Structure 1
Amino acid sequence: MTRSKILSTARSYITRDRQADHGDAEDNFSRIAGYWSLHTGTTLTSTDVAVMMALLKVARIKQNPQHVDNWVDGAGYFACGGEIANK
């Protein structure tokens, strides 16, 4: 898959598919941050969630770099995190 296709697929996921399934990214990541903060005893933010989810994808890429879904999802998490951080 080309870099252009990876980005266009990620764009489709975060603006349509995942949005319909999981709701607004900032709301979803804030909710996750709340749960993770309770679990870890550390205050986490929605941008922390975006970074940590992207790092999860990096760990999966280390195991199987040919699995393109991890590259697509990682691009999506970084895009969502960047948008949230700049609001």
Structure 2
Amino acid sequence: MLEQAAAIVDADREKTYGETGKNLRAIAEMWEAWLRARGKLAPDAFLTFEDVACMMVGLKLARLANDPRHKDSQIDACGYMRLLERCQE
């Protein structure tokens, strides 16, 4: 499963979504704007690529709560951890 997740993340992902760190930072900025507009994020608070990767793992875990055997969600959760690792390197 870990090898499959790494193969997905390390292959064509950047062709589709762009450079990993840049993409996760763009998601963080969009989430910040949304949270600020909703009054849920202080003006001086910011999200990081780590926040995005970990919260996406949380999303996948929430989906797995409905069906812990769903392989796509398992692989996706591992994939987000791989993205986190790549950004931290």
What TM-score comes out, normalization by structure 1 length? 0.85
Aligned-partner SS, 1:44: coil
Aligned length: 81
Which residue of structure 1 aligns with residue 32 of structure 2? 37
Q: Which has the larger Rg?
A: 2
Deviation at 1:54, TM superposition (A): 0.4
Query: After TM superposition, where is structure 1 displaced by more than 4 Å over at least 4 residues in a row?
Result: none
Deviation at 1:33, TM superposition (A): 0.2
Deviation at residue 20 of structure 1 after TM alignment: 2.1
Identity %: 32
Q: Which residue pairs with 2:21 in the alignment?
A: 26
TM-score, length-scaled by structure 2: 0.83
- Which runs of 5 or more structure 2 residues have no equivalent in the other structure? none
Q: 2:55 corresponds to which residue? A: 52
Opposite residue 53 of structure 1, the aligned amino acid is M
**Matching residue within 3, 8, 17 for 1:8:** 3
Per the alignment, residue 83 of structure 2 pairs with: 80
Q: How does 1:62-73 map to 2 (within 5 A)?
A: 62-73=65-76
Q: CA offset at residue 67 of structure 1?
A: 0.8
Unaligned runs of 5+ in 1: 1-5
Cα distance in 2 between the residues matched to 1:19 and 1:67: 25
Whose RCO is larger (CA < 8 A, sep 6+)?
A: 2
